[in-house]
Amino acid sequence: MSLIKTEALVVKASEYSESTRLVTLFSPDHGRVRVLAKGIKRIKSRDRGSLEPFSRVQVSLYLKDPTSLGTLRESALLSAPSALRSDYDRWLLASLVLEVLDRATLPAEDLSGLFERVCAYLEEMETTDRPDEVTVAVLAAMLEGFGFRPEFARCGLCGSAGPFVGFRIDKCSVTCKRCARGHEHFRPLPPGTIKVFEHLAAMGARGRGTLRLSRKQLDQLFSLLVALLQYHLEITLTSARMLAAR
Ligand SMILES: [Zn+2]
């Protein structure tokens, strides 16, 4: 059992027993860590809020190994979003991003890069007037953060240089007309949307460029990115279904 001190993002929190909460954290040093926060009722009300999703906290915890359930010793709130928690649409979008962190079992290529990118995203969500666009950008960065770099130059099946008619989810690649035909993992996309996706991906994991997407392009990219993340990380994102039903 070792004592770990780390910064972390609260990804999920639920009742474990009357006085104990089960908290999932995402840390730049240790990735996803699950801890029991005991005696939560004795903790001052100001600190209790620090163990809610979206809070950035400084914690010390006991952990046997990365996959075991740890015990929280101390937690201090570094920052907590307020707009996110009071705006249902923003909350739902950001919940999807946290759900990816919660579900993904693949190791990220650069944990601290992914951590900083998601924290920057949550900050941006406090003030942006384009929450959908900002979310699509962070999902693209996360896909790459987990090691899946979309291919835009060549058809992922035959290697042809285009023209492309959409994306193959399983190949994480653009697809020519011949290879697209009737495949279950094929998603048709207009050339303009493919271009925008390429631009998003090129902005890189840390980049925060400005893009003006149409509502249709946003919807197309959103559903494409959810499908790519679900397929390649082998996860099911339940908040994606809630978002689709908005
Ligand atoms: Zn092809």
The rounded Å distance from CA 75 to ligand 1 centre is 52
Task: Classify 83-244 by CATH class.
Answer: mainly alpha
Task: Kindly give the distance from the C-alpha atom of residue 154 to the centroid of ligand 1, in angstroms, as a whole number.
Answer: 8
Asked whether 160 and 137 are in contact (CB, 8 A), the reply is: no
Residue with tokens 């509502």: 215
DSSP H/E element including 227: helix 215-233
Tokens, residue 10: 């609260």
Residue 178 Cα to ligand 1 middle (Å):
6
- pLDDT of 45 reads 46
pLDDT above 90 covers a percentage of the chain that reads: 60
Whether 113 contacts 205, CB under 8 Å:
yes
Please tell me the distance between residue 158's alpha carbon and the centre of ligand 1 in angstroms: 4
Residue 5 one-letter amino acid:
K
Ligand 1 midpoint to CA 191 (Å):
15
Q: Residue 140: in which H helix or E strand, if any?
A: helix 131-145
- Closest C-alpha to 33, from 5, 195, 45: 5
Question: From ligand 1's centre to the CA of 175, what distance in Å?
Answer: 5
- State the distance from the centre of ligand 1 to the C-alpha of 234, rounded, in angstroms: 25
Domain ranges of the chain: 2-79, 83-244
Distance from residue 149's CA to the centre of ligand 1 (Å): 18
Cα Rg for the chain, rounded, in angstroms?
19
ipTM of the complex: 0.98
Provide the pLDDT confidence category of residue 242 given band limits of 50, 70 and 90.
confident
Ligand 1 centre distance from Cα of residue 41 (Å): 60
Report yes or no: 172 and 154 within 8 Å, Cβ to Cβ. no
- Please state, for a pLDDT cut of 70, what percent of the chain lies above it: 93
| Predicted pLDDT of residue 49 | 64
Q: 176 C-alpha to center of ligand 1: Å?
A: 4
192 Cα to the center of ligand 1, angstroms: 19
Answer yes or no: is pLDDT of 84 > 70.
Answer: yes
Confidence check: pLDDT of 122 > 90: yes
Neighbours of ion ligand 1 (CB under 5 A): 155, 157-158, 160, 176, 179
Cα 2 to ligand 1 centre (Å): 52
Q: Which CATH number fits domain 2-79: 2.60.120.10, 3.10.20.30, 2.40.50.140, 3.40.50.300?
A: 2.40.50.140
Task: Quick: pLDDT tens for 9-64.
Answer: 999 999 888 888 999 999 998 889 999 998 755 555 455 568 899 999 999 999 88
Query: SS3 helix, strand, coil % of the chain, rounded to 5?
Result: 40, 25, 30
177-202 average pLDDT score: 90
pLDDT in tens, 126-179: 999 889 999 999 999 999 989 999 999 999 999 999 899 999 999 999 999 998
